[in-house]
Amino acid sequence: MLSKKTKVKYTEKKKKSKYPKVGFVVFDKWCKRCGICSELCIHNVFRIDEDGYPRPVKPVECNLCGFCITRCPDFALRMIEGKSGEHSA
């Protein structure tokens, strides 16, 4: 069993990404809740919320491939480099 200190270290290491920080803006007004963005993301950065909108729950896992933003049919997703998490429009 891991000690508390080791667990903390492991969790912190896991959260660090080798890629630059990135955040997302989901324009709910434009999003048609098709789910393409979350389906295409192999790192499961998005989770679909109870209303069907994608929410970037694990932006630290993002490798900046750009699939989600370029494949969104309604241009409802924007990536913000240098900021993590979800940001309002």
Return residues touching ligand SF4 (CB under 6 A). Answer: 26, 31-37, 40-41, 43, 45, 54, 62-68, 72, 74, 76-77
User: Nearest distance from residue 55's CB to ligand SF4, in Å?
Assistant: 10
Q: Is 24 helix (H, G, I), strand (E, B) or coil?
A: strand
Residue 81 buriedness (CB in 10 A; 0-12 / 13-18 / 19+): exposed
User: Nearest distance from residue 5's CB to ligand SF4, in Å?
Assistant: 31
Would you say 10 or 20 has its CB closer to ligand SF4?
20
State the Cα–Cα distance between residues 75 and 61, nearest whole angstrom: 22
